[in-house]
C-alpha cells in the first residue's frame, strides 16, 4: 500500500508589506526614506511640518519623510524650514550647545531628516558644480607647478653652465682714458653715448630729494647726460620744492630739467609723462634713456655697468637691473613683499633673460635704446602696465633684453595696506587687460619663433599673470573649504597638500633669510589673491576700474621722523578706512567651514581653515602694515 501523497501548502495570497527602504549612504546625518504601502495621497507637507527642535535634554522622536515629499511642489516652504534647521544645527557647533551639535543624528530623527533633506535638495546642483570647479583647479595647479619646476630647472641649468650676461653678450668697461683720447669731455661720443635720465613724479614730498640727488650723482660726463624730472604734482607746494631742488643741482653744473605739464593735466599718467618728455627737442638727440621712479636710488656706477651691454650689442634694446629694498624690515607686510619680489627677480626675470631674451620691463631701474623704443611704437597708455606693454611690443619686433641680477637699485616697498592694495590691483589688472588686447597680435606676428610665442602667451601671460592669481584664491579659499560642506566631492591629497607645498618651497628659494616666515607668507598671499583675482577678471572683461591709476604712496624718511616713541599709542583711524568687507566675508566663510570640519569631518582641513580665516580677519580689520599718523 503506497504512502499517501502530501498536499502542497496553501499559497498565501494576501499582500505582504514591502520592507522599508534602507537609509541613504550619507557620511553625515542620514535620511530614512519610507515608501508608501498603497497608492494613497499622503500628506507630504505634514512630515516636513513636524520637523521641530526638541530641547537639548529630550530624545527626538523618529520621523520619516516620504520619498515623494522631496519632489512635491507644495512643500517648498517646508523645505525652507528644513534648511533653517540644518543651518541652526551647524551653527551649534561653535555656539552655546556643543554637546547637541556634536551628536550625530540617528536616521529618522528630526535633525537627521532635516540635514538629509538639505543634501537631497542641494546635491543635484552643488555636487556637479563643485566637482567641476575642483577638477579645473587641480588642472591649473598642475600647470602652475609645472611652470615653477621648469623655471627652477632653467635657473639651475643657467648657473651650472655659467650662462651669465657677460658671457652671453659682449661687455667691455668704459674707461676714462677713452674720453680723454677722444679730445676731452666734449668729444667722447663713441665711448659715452648721450643718456637721458627720466624721473616721473607725482606729489613725492618724502622722496624727491633722494631720487633727484641719486640721478644727478651718476658717474657720467656732464655734457653726455640730461636729467629730466617729469613733475605731475598737483600740490603747488610740492611742485615748488621739486623745482627748487632741480635749480640747486643745476647750479652745480648738472644739466637737469624740470618739466611740469600745463594746467596740471595728467593725461596718460606715467606713460603720458614719459611720452611727452621724450618729445622735447633736447631729448631727441639722446641715444639711451634710463628710467627711475621717484623712490629709486641708483648707485653712481649704474650707467657704467649697464650701458656697455647696449653699446657693444646692437640687438639689445633693454638692460634691466634688480631691485633691493631699503625698508624690507619695517614690518611683517614688507617682509612678505620681499619674498615675492625676490622670487620674481631671481627666478622669473633670470629665466626670461637667459632662455628667451624676453621678460617684462619693471617700469624702472632700466636703460632703453631709444631707437628700439621708437620702433616699438613708444609709450602707450592703453593699460596700467605701460612698461610691460612696451616690452612685449619691442620683443615682437625682434629686440632682445638682458637682466643683470648683480646690478641692484635701492627702492622703497609700500608699507601701508592701502598703498599695497592699490599697487596689486594695478599689477594684476594691467597684465590681464594687456593679454586681452595683444593675444591675436602675438599669434599673427612673423618676426619671432613659435617657441617664443608659446613662451609669451602660455608661460608669461596665461600661467604667471592669470592662472597663478585665480587658482590661489578660488582653489585654496573657496573650493577646498566648500568640500568640507559637500563631502561627496573629495580633493586628492596630492592636490591639496603636495602641490601647494612644492610651489611654496620653490617660491621660498629667493629669500633664504625669510624661510621661518614662509607660513605667514602663504597666508598673506592667499589673502591678497582675493584682490588679484578680482583685478584679473576686471582686466580680462575691461570692466569697472580697468584703467584706474593710483600712484603708490611712498613714506621715505618721513615715517621714521613721525614714528611715535615708546609708550605712545598707534594713531587712530576711521572705522571705514580700516574695515574691508570682502576680507571679513571670506574670513567668516572659512571660519564656518573650519568649525564644521572640526565637528563632523575627518580630513583635518580645519587646521588650515582656522589659520587662513584669522589671516583674512586681521587684514579685514586693517591691522597689517604700517600705521601712518
Choose the weakest-confidence range: 184-188, 293-297, 491-495, 502-506. Answer: 184-188
**Could you read off the pLDDT of 97-149 as tens digits, one per residue?**
444 444 444 555 555 565 666 567 667 788 899 999 999 999 999 999 999 99
- Please give the Cα distance from 423 to 413 (Å, whole number): 10
Does the residue 527 lie in any domain?
no
Considering the entire predicted model, what is its pTM? 0.79
Is residue 213 one of the residues assigned to a domain? yes
pLDDT at 122: 64
Between 355 and 566, whose confidence is greater?
A: 355
Residue 232 domain-assigned? Answer: yes
Average pLDDT of the chain, as a whole number: 82
pLDDT surpasses 90 at 41: no
Dist CA 70 CA 81 (whole Å):
13
**So what's the pLDDT on residue 48?**
35
Question: What range defines the domain where residue 291 resides?
Answer: 162-414
What percentage of the chain carries pLDDT values higher than 70?
A: 74
pLDDT of residue 7: 54
516 vs 53, higher pLDDT: 516
C-beta atoms surrounding 163 within 10 Å: 16
251-295 pLDDT, tens digit per residue, is 999 999 999 987 667 788 899 999 999 999 999 999 999 999 999
Q: How far is Cα 273 from Cα 137, in angstroms, rounded to an integer?
A: 41
C-alpha cell recorded at residue 621: 580689520
Which pLDDT band holds residue 510 (cuts at 50, 70, 90)?
Answer: confident
Tell me whether residue 322 is in a domain.
yes
Q: Are strands 65-66 and 256-260 parallel, antiparallel or unpaired?
A: unpaired
pLDDT band at residue 625, thresholds of 50, 70 and 90?
A: confident
| Candidates 293, 342, 381, 387; catalytic one | 387
Inter-residue contact 306 to 321 (CB < 8 Å): yes
557 pLDDT exceeds 50?
Answer: yes
Average pLDDT (553-575) is: 52
pLDDT band at 621, cuts 50/70/90?
very high
pLDDT band at 545 (very low <50, low <70, confident <90, very high): confident
286 in any annotated domain: yes
List pLDDT tens digits, range 357-374: 899 999 999 999 999 999
> Which tens digits make up the pLDDT trace of 515-540?
999 999 999 999 999 999 999 999 99
Residue 550 in this model has a pLDDT that exceeds 60: yes
pLDDT of residue 165: 92
What is the rounded average pLDDT of the residues 67-90? 48
The predicted-structure confidence for 438-460, as pLDDT tens digits, reads as follows 999 999 999 999 999 999 999 99
Sorting pLDDT into bands at 50, 70 and 90, what band is 52? very low
| Residue among 530, 500, 532, 535 at smallest CA distance from 518 | 500
pLDDT category of residue 95 using cuts at 50, 70 and 90? very low
* Section 466-483 average pLDDT: 97
Judge whether 125 lies within some domain: no
Q: Calculate mean pLDDT across residues 312-326.
A: 96
The cell for 142 is: 598642475
Q: Residue 314 above 50 pLDDT?
A: yes
What 185-189 contacts at long range (C-beta under 8 Å, 24+ apart), as own/partner pairs, is: 185/221, 185/222, 185/223, 185/224, 186/223, 188/221, 188/224, 189/224
Distance (Å, whole) CA 195 – CA 482? 57
Is 295 among the catalytic positions?
Answer: no
* Contact status, residue 533 vs residue 469, Cβ threshold 8 Å: yes
User: Rounded to whole angstroms, how far apart are CA atoms 344 and 338?
Assistant: 10
**pLDDT confidence band for 296 (50 / 70 / 90):** very high
Catalytic residue among 232, 293, 295, 342: 232
Alpha helix stretches (DSSP H) within 445-580: 450-454, 468-473, 480-485, 493, 499-508, 518-541, 558-562, 575-578
The values of phi and psi at residue 510, to 5°, are -75, -25
CATH number, residue 280: 3.90.550.10
pLDDT of the residue at 569: 44
Residue 218 lies in a domain: yes
Residue 183: predicted pLDDT: 45
Task: Work out whether strand 288-291 and strand 256-260 pair parallel, antiparallel, or are unpaired.
Answer: unpaired
Known catalytic residue at 232: yes
583-611 tens-digit pLDDT = 999 999 999 999 999 998 888 899 999 99
Assess if residue 90 is contained within a domain: no
Query: What cell was used for 353?
Result: 633673460
Measure the CA–CA gap between 621 and 627, rounded to whole angstroms: 13
Q: Domain total for the chain?
A: 1
Q: Taking residues 188-209, what's their average pLDDT?
A: 88
> CA-CA distance, 436 to 440, in Å (whole number)?
8
pLDDT of 178 reads 59
Amino acid at each position: 500500500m503506497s504512502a499517501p501523497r502530501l498536499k502542497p501548502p496553501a499559497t498565501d495570497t494576501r499582500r505582504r508589506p514591502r520592507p522599508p527602504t534602507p537609509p541613504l549612504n550619507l557620511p553625515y546625518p542620514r535620511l530614512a526614506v519610507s515608501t508608501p504601502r498603497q497608492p494613497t495621497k499622503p500628506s507630504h507637507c505634514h512630515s516636513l511640518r513636524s520637523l521641530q527642535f526638541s530641547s537639548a535634554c529630550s530624545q527626538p522622536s523618529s520621523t520619516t519623510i516620504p520619498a515623494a515629499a522631496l519632489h512635491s511642489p507644495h512643500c517648498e516652504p517646508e523645505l525652507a524650514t528644513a534648511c533653517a534647521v540644518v543651518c541652526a544645527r551647524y551653527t551649534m557647533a561653535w555656539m552655546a550647545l556643543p554637546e547637541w551639535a556634536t551628536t550625530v543624528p540617528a536616521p529618522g530623527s528630526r535633525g537627521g531628516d532635516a540635514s538629509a533633506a538639505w543634501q537631497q535638495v542641494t546635491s543635484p546642483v552643488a555636487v556637479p558644480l563643485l566637482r567641476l570647479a575642483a577638477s579645473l583647479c587641480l588642472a591649473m595647479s598642475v600647470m602652475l607647478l609645472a611652470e615653477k619646476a621648469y623655471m627652477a630647472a632653467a635657473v639651475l641649468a643657467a648657473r651650472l653652465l655659467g650662462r651669465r650676461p657677460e658671457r652671453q653678450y659682449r661687455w667691455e668697461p668704459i674707461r676714462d682714458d677713452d674720453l680723454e683720447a677722444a679730445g676731452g669731455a666734449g668729444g667722447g661720443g663713441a665711448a659715452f653715448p648721450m643718456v637721458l635720465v627720466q624721473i616721473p613724479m607725482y606729489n613725492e614730498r618724502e622722496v624727491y630729494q633722494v631720487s633727484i640727488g641719486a640721478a644727478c650723482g651718476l658717474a657720467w660726463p656732464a655734457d653726455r647726460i640730461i636729467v629730466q624730472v617729469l613733475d605731475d604734482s598737483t600740490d603747488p607746494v610740492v611742485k615748488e620744492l621739486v623745482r627748487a631742488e632741480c635749480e640747486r643741482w643745476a647750479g652745480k653744473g648738472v644739466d637737469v630739467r624740470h618739466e611740469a605739464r600745463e594746467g596740471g593735466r595728467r593725461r596718460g599718467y606715467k606713460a603720458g609723462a614719459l611720452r611727452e618728455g621724450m618729445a622735447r627737442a633736447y631729448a631727441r638727440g639722446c641715444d639711451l634713456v634710463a628710467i627711475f621712479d621717484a623712490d629709486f636710488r641708483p648707485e653712481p656706477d649704474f650707467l657704467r655697468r649697464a650701458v656697455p651691454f647696449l653699446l657693444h650689442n646692437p640687438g639689445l634694446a633693454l638692460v634691466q637691473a634688480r631691485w633691493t629694498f631699503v625698508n624690507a624690515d619695517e614690518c611683517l607686510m614688507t617682509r612678505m613683499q620681499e619674498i615675492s619680489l625676490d622670487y620674481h627677480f631671481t627666478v622669473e626675470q633670470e629665466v626670461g633673460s637667459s632662455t628667451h631674451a624676453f621678460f617684462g620691463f619693471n617700469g624702472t631701474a632700466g636703460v632703453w635704446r631709444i631707437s628700439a623704443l621708437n620702433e616699438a611704437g613708444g609709450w602707450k597708455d592703453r593699460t596700467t602696465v605701460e612698461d610691460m606693454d612696451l616690452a612685449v611690443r619691442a620683443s615682437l619686433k625682434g629686440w632682445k633684453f638682458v637682466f643683470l641680477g648683480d646690478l641692484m637699485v635701492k627702492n622703497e616697498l609700500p608699507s601701508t595696506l592701502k598703498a599695497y592694495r592699490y599697487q596689486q590691483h594695478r599689477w594684476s589688472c594691467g597684465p590681464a587687460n594687456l593679454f586681452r588686447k595683444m593675444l591675436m597680435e602675438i599669434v599673427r606676428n612673423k618676426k619671432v619663433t613659435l617657441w617664443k610665442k608659446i613662451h609669451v602667451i602660455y608661460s608669461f601671460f596665461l600661467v604667471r599673470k592669470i592662472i597663478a592669481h585665480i587658482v590661489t584664491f578660488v582653489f585654496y579659499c573657496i573650493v577646498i573649504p566648500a568640500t568640507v560642506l559637500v563631502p561627496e566631492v573629495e580633493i586628492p591629497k596630492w592636490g591639496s597638500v603636495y602641490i601647494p607645498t612644492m610651489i611654496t618651497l620653490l617660491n621660498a628659494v629667493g629669500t633664504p633669510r625669510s624661510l621661518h616666515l614662509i607660513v605667514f607668507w602663504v597666508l598673506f598671499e592667499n589673502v591678497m589673491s582675493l584682490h588679484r583675482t578680482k583685478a584679473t577678471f576686471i582686466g580680462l572683461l575691461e570692466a569697472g576700474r580697468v584703467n584706474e591709476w593710483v600712484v603708490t604712496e611712498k613714506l621715505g624718511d618721513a615715517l621714521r621722523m613721525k614714528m611715535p616713541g615708546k609708550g605712545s599709542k598707534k594713531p587712530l583711524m576711521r572705522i571705514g578706512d580700516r574695515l574691508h568687507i570682502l576680507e571679513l566675508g571670506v574670513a567668516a566663510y572659512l571660519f564656518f567651514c573650519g568649525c564644521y570640519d572640526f565637528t563632523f569631518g575627518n580630513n583635518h582641513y580645519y587646521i588650515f581653515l582656522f589659520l587662513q580665516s584669522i589671516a583674512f580677519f586681521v587684514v579685514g580689520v586693517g591691522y597689517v602694515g604700517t600705521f601712518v599718523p
